[in-house]
Structure 1
Amino acid sequence: MLSLKRIYTTIGLVILTVVLIIVAFTTWYTVDESDQAVILTFGKAEEAITEPGLHFKLPWPIQNVEKLSKETFSLQFGYEAKDGEIKDFPNETKMITGDENIVLADLVVQWKITDPQKYLFNAENPQKILYDSTSASLRSIIGSSKIDDALTSGKAEIEADVRELLSSLVEKYDIGISILAVKLQDVELPNKDVRKAFTDVTDARETSNTKINEAQKYRNQKLNEAKGEEEAIKSRAEGEKTARLERARGDVAVFNELYDEYKNNPDITRERLVLETLEQVLPTAEIYIMNDDGNTMKYFPIRQMEKEQPKPPEDEGSEENE
């Protein structure tokens, strides 16, 4: 009996020691800054723990801890980059565009776990659901796009549409995942000859756009020059208009003065106007003032006297100054 009691006592001590060890090692856990944890009480998920540091819980098997990363994950669709090597999966990336052309399109999706409870329990394999949703979203958007948009300038719009559709699908499946970004890696044609032909078409389009831009630049330059010339002509016309108006006003003022003099002394004014007109019409003709008092005609040679009159001596001082 004593030996059996000792055996029971020893077994009890062993069991107690095991229980104490389990309690000692399973009643606490740590959460890193890059992790988040979910407490499971008899398999039922409690609220998530996101604060880093040391935390306590009930011992196993009452409560367990599931840790998930808070970092951003990358989903590579259509290829796999591993150890510096890239492996393509053309069967997954081959799809048809809206204008019935075949293209190869692959992309990368940036995502993270935002609801650990849903990620753990709402789906058996949430990453597989995400992959299939990415494939469906990309094929749907490419299927409604033209090949020119998929290969050239429409990639940004395709990325935005794929992200919007993929986010709506993930939200509908409610698997605790959020989509951060979608980036098309390569969109190309499956045949080399077709790729070359399309490249030639793209180069021709770029050359055409360049020529159009150059023509537009030349057109703008000529328009600016024409506008400048137009402004110069208008400015000269305004100046000529002002000058003619001023001359007209001056002529009117002179005419009014002559008219006043004519009213006071019509004969004298008439003779003066005749003489001034003759000087303008016949500038080289000599004019004589004559007096006819009968048989003898006398005149006063004013022009000849002006010619014979000696010139005054030049000032020596002025010559020295010159």
Structure 2
Amino acid sequence: MSAKRLVTIIITSFIGIILLSAVLTSWYTVDESEQAIVITFGEASDPITESGLKFKIPWPIQKVEKLSKETFSLRFGYKQAADGEVTSFDKETKMITGDDNIVLTDLVVQYKITDPKSYLFNSESPQELLHDATSASIRSVIGNSKIDDALTSGKGQIEADTVELLGSLIEKYDIGITVLSVKLQDVELPNAEVRSAFTAVTDAEETKNTKVNQAEKYENQKLSEAIGEKDAIISNAIGYKTARTEQARGDVALFDKIFAEYKNNKEITKQRLVMETLDAVLPNAQIYIMNDDGGTMKYLPLQPVESTKQTTPPVAPETESENGSGQ
């Protein structure tokens, strides 16, 4: 084989390799869970988020960087192996509270890559920068919190304050990351004896809260009962007032009618009122109206004649012979 033919074979092979490389690097695919950046001589394009087959200029003119759209988790203060074993870093998580107590605090930060261009080009190690920002944020928040809040009911507020502070720091760093949430995993005291004492204090606090809740429940119950009794008394009083008012109106209407009759016939009305009053005052008494004009005494029984007959036994009449013998 001549040298010229050997050179031709080498050149042809090199051209073939270049063409094959151009064909293989002129297309790429984007999955639904991915976003891509096409980089042309170091200049990044806008993110490509639509999935499917894409084409580009072959390497080395253009290259593609793919980043995931999923939510990432940054573990601060501990590391969890694939077999589930957890390794804690107490030196990293040891912090001082606002009331000069020491606590161990580890947490999980959830975030997403929302700006691939900033993530790739604005920092050499975005995750390391996020870790440092997390450390600064949680230490600042814990330093402004009391130990009781950090260990008991104040965890939610600490998480919210940390998210706010960490989010503002990441926004200033402009590394293409958005912080979604911060979740405290363990907040505990560094000493077993101190933990035991604080547990006793926490139990006492819970007992106190239980007693306070029971007292408030009893207070609310008694207050509700008192309000119910008050409303019942007021309702009864309103009803009594209404009844008395209506009765008074009826009495006034009756008086007006009697007064009108009185003006028409004073004597008859006066006698009627006297008899009705006597009958009301002495309902079971037998009342007679006597009229003595110097002759035979006459009387008018007010009770019905039939009732008088039933209650008074009959008297036998006297005969003339008996009268004559009596004389």
Q: Normalising by structure 2, what TM-score?
A: 0.79
* Aligned-partner SS, 1:47: coil
What is the match of residue 185 of structure 2? 185
What does residue 292 of structure 2 align with? 291
Structure 1 position 194 matched with structure 2 position 194: no
Shift of 1:173: 0.5
* Distance in 1, Cα, partners of 2:276 & 2:41: 131
Deviates more, 1:274-283 or 1:68-77: 274-283
Partner letter of residue 300 of structure 1?
K
Matched residue of 1:49: which SS?
Answer: coil
SS state at 1:38 partner: strand
Q: CA separation of 1:18/1:306 partners in 2, compared to 1, >3 Å: closer, same or farther?
A: closer
Q: CA deviation at 1:108?
A: 1.9
Show the counterpart of 2:122: 122
For 1:9 and 1:69, how far apart are their aligned partners in 2? 46
AA in 1 matched with 2:54? H
Cα deviation for residue 179 of structure 1 reads 1.4
CA drift of 1:69 comes to 1.0
Aligned partners of 1:78 and 1:88 also within 8 Å: yes
Cα displacement (A) at 1:98: 2.6
Identity among equivalent pairs (%) = 47
- Superposed CA deviations along residues 92-127 of structure 1, whole A, max 9, x for unmatched, are 333233333333333222211111121112111100
Distance 1:272 1:74, change over 3 A: closer
State the match for 1:319 in structure 2: none
Q: CA deviation at 1:188?
A: 3.8
Match of 1:208 among 209, 212, 223: 212
| Equivalent pair of 1:189/1:195 in contact (CA under 8 Å) | no
Instruction: Give the direction of change, closer, same or farther, for the CA distance of 1:308–1:85 in structure 2 (3 Å limit).
Output: closer
- What's 2:78 paired with? 79
Opposite residue 197 of structure 2, the aligned amino acid is D
Q: Tell me by how many angstroms 1:175 deviates.
A: 0.6
Distance of 2:248 and 2:307 partners within structure 1 = 42
Q: Is the partner of 1:100 in helix, strand or coil?
A: coil
> What displacement does 1:171 show?
0.9
For each residue in 1:135-175, what CA deviation from the matched residue of structure 2 results, as whole angstroms up to 9, or x when unmatched? 21122222223344434443333322221211111110011
Measured in 1, the distance between the counterparts of 2:275 and 2:7 equals 162
Q: How many residues align?
A: 304
Aligned residues: CA RMSD: 3.2
1:257-310 Cα deviation digits (max 9, x unpaired): 335423xx5xx76666666666666663653524343xxx53135559958964
Q: Report what 1:67 is aligned to.
A: 66
* Equivalent in the alignment of 1:55: 54
CA distance 1:235–1:93, change in 2 (3 Å) = farther
Contact 2:261–2:269 (CA under 8 A) maintained in structure 1: no
Gaps of 5+ in 1: 312-322
Q: Per-residue CA shift, 1:56-102, capped at 9, x if unaligned? A: 23333333222211111111222334433433333333323333333
1:227 to 231, 235, 241: 231
DSSP-derived class of the 1:95 partner: strand
Equivalent residues in 2 for 1:42-191 (5 A)?
42-82=41-81, 83-190=83-190, 191=195
Q: Is the 8 A contact 1:38 1:67 kept in 2?
A: yes
Structure 1 SS opposite 2:246: helix
Tell me how far apart the structure 1 counterparts of residues 130 and 292 of structure 2 sit (CA, whole Å). 128
The reply on whether 1:217 has 2:217 as its aligned counterpart is no
- Cα 1:164–1:275 change in 2 (3 A) is closer
2 CA distance for matches of 1:278 and 1:239?
27
Residues 170, 177 of structure 2: 8 Å contact kept = yes
Shift in alpha-carbon separation, 1:25–1:256, aligned structure 2, 3 A: same
